[in-house]
Amino acid sequence: MTISVGDRVPNLTLTKATASGPDQVSSDEYFKGRKVAVVAVPGAFTPTCSARHLPGFVDKAGEIKAKGVDEIAFTSVNDAFVMGAWGKASDAGDITMLADGNADFAKALGLTFDGSKFGMGERSQRYSMIVNDGVIEQLNVEAPGEFNVSSAEYLLGKL
């Protein structure tokens, strides 16, 4: 079942890519007491994700934060080293990179798809959401193959 607006984000462990290496974080602690824009993509360094999705949030990070968002986090079914390298290569210093290496977060949210025909296995769907103190306030899930409602511009317009 897909998570909905008003639901609490399930408690599990994510891996935060940091300059000193991977850092395990509990989702309960990560989202506690703050407003976070979470953006999920099928894969780091993939065409739409790298050419349009992440750059949009890099460009609009200041505007999004000015609307009351404490942090912007990108997540993907990749390991923390890949997420860290993607953030660095994309000059995404204002964005937290959260690895969901085993798709545990995507599965718990009910937001996975089978990318096997592309050699990618189980992946996260493309979406954005606003999580306020652990509760989902906004959820924007893309239709397969689309890139509209999870963009920085769309999210900014909804804040």
Please identify which of the residues 39, 49, 131, 136 carries the catalytic annotation.
Answer: 49
The kind and range of the H/E element at 115 are none
Is 27 strand, coil or helix? helix
Pairwise CA distance, residues 48 & 27, whole Å: 27
Residue 49 annotated among the catalytic residues of the structure: yes
For residue 63 the two structure tokens come to: 């505007």
Pairwise CA distance, residues 64 & 58, whole Å: 10
Annotated catalytic sites, by residue?
49
